[in-house]
């Protein structure tokens, strides 16, 4: 038995501030057409696909900030993407900045199935960076200022013949993100990211940016017996270099498809969802081998131990 999902990981190169939504959607459609021509069932785009990564700037004017947000989905500007997907009969997942009718701001991603139905929505939970401007940084990372913590937890949805879930960028560095979906039986996780190469508070990490990206995607896939599709927005955006390293990772923990450029590039892999089964049934059979009572007891007894300040 096999359940093959052919996935197109649609890495996007830099998107500058002056680039219109229409221009970005055109690039997305071009990648989508390539994916359809190669028989893909689903095409996956990065975090905040529609605009430049705006949290790099400190802005005080809420009207200006809100120009980066979407009030409806699809909108006039994104409708061509939805229409083309419906015409091609292909599913897709992408990230965008969501402004709700109640005025709430989230870093959000969607899964749209092959019939054009929005089957899943996720709002980013692990918001990195800082809330107040830090002028010593060449680039700000003000996600904590511009977004609320997501309120939808990590869901899994029936899509593409299996159980699909999402997380967004920094979520991929936290084992909890994968595990909450793993406990719900997830078989394929889509994760888009915008990862600057330079980490201002810890520049010694910079040389390891791609390694850390692969490390967490591979560990998360293996430890939860799931496929993981990691998709970067990359290249030099408004002077800020961001990593590519778009990767499709099997439940074995192996990377079976990876980007080669820092530009718009489609990475394709045939992913057998049934490959998840032997991992979920043996080494990572959660019912048989996890010990949640012990984890809880140890934390309750010892509390959370932090390194001393000196
Ligand atoms: N957009 C992100 O969430 N970026 C973070 C950076 C700031 C470390 C990431 O984890 O890639």
The domain that contains 204 carries what CATH number? 3.60.110.10
Chain-centroid distance of CA 287 in Å reads 28
Per-residue pLDDT of the chain (310 residues; tens, 9 = 90+): 689 999 999 999 999 999 999 999 999 999 999 999 999 999 999 999 999 999 999 999 999 999 999 999 999 999 999 999 999 999 999 999 999 999 999 999 999 999 999 999 999 999 999 999 999 999 999 999 999 999 999 999 999 999 999 999 999 999 999 999 999 999 999 999 999 999 999 999 999 999 999 999 999 999 999 999 999 999 999 999 999 999 999 999 999 999 999 999 999 999 999 999 999 999 999 999 999 999 999 888 888 777 776 6
Range of the domain at 298: 4-302
Output the CA–CA distances (angstroms, integers) from residue 17 to 52, 73, 98, in the order listed: 5, 21, 18
Note whether residue 155 is domain-resident.
yes
CB 144 within 8 A of CB 127: yes
Active-site residue, selected from the candidate residues 84, 98, 124, 237: 124
Q: Which residue has the tokens 């390194």?
A: 307
The one-character DSSP state at 196 is B
Give the distance (Å) from ligand 1 centre to CA of residue 199. Answer: 9
Is the shortest distance between the CB of 78 and ligand 1 below 6 Å?
no
**Catalytic residue status for 169:** yes
Note whether residue 46 is domain-resident.
yes
Output the CA–CA distances (angstroms, integers) from residue 299 to 175, 183, 278, 296, 309, in the order listed: 17, 20, 31, 5, 21
Note whether residue 310 is domain-resident.
no
Predicted TM-score of the model (pTM): 0.97
Q: Whose CA is nearest to atom 6 of ligand 1?
A: 195
**Catalytic residue status for 280:** no
Note whether residue 65 is domain-resident.
yes
Mutate to test the pocket of ligand 1, among 130, 171, 193 (most ligand atoms within 8 A of CB): 193
Note whether residue 75 is domain-resident.
yes
Note whether residue 307 is domain-resident.
no
What span, in angstroms and rounded, lies between the C-alpha atoms of 251 and 283? 12
Q: Which 3 state secondary structure label does DSSP give 229? A: strand
Q: Which 3 state secondary structure label does DSSP give 298? A: helix
Tokens of 108: 């959000």
Instruction: Give the number of domains in the chain.
Output: 1
């Amino acid at each position: 038995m096999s359940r093959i999902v052919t996935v197109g990981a649609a890495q996007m190169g830099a998107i500058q501030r002056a680039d219109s939504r229409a221009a970005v959607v055109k690039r997305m459609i071009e990648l989508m057409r390539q994916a359809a021509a190669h028989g893909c069932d689903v095409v996956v785009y990065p975090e905040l696909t529609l605009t430049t990564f705006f949290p790099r700037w400190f802005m005080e004017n809420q009207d200006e900030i809100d120009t980066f947000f979407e009030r409806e989905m699809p909108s006039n500007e994104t409708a061509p993407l939805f229409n083309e997907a419906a015409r091609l009969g292909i599913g897709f997942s992408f990230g965008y900045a969501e402004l709700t009718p109640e005025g709430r701001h989230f870093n959000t991603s969607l899964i749209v199935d092959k019939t054009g139905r929005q089957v899943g929505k996720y709002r980013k939970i692990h918001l990195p960076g800082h809330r107040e401007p830090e002028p010593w940084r060449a680039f700000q990372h003000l996600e904590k200022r511009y977004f609320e913590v997501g309120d939808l937890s990590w869901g899994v949805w029936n899509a593409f013949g299996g159980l699909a879930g999402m997380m967004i960028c920094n979520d991929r560095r936290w084992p909890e993100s994968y595990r909450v979906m793993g406990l719900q039986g997830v078989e394929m996780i889509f994760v888009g990211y915008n990862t600057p190469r330079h980490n201002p508070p810890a520049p010694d990490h910079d040389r390891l940016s791609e390694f850390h990206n692969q490390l967490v995607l591979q560990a998360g896939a293996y430890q939860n017996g799931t496929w993981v599709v990691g998709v970067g927005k990359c290249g030099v955006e408004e002077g800020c270099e961001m990593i590519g390293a778009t990767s499709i990772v099997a439940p074995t923990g192996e990377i079976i498809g990876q980007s080669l450029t820092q530009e718009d590039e489609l990475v394709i892999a045939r992913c057998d969802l049934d490959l998840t089964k032997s991992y979920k049934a043996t080494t990572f059979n959660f019912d048989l081998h996890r010990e949640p009572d012990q984890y809880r007891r140890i934390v309750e007894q010892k509390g959370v131990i932090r390194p001393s300040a000196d």
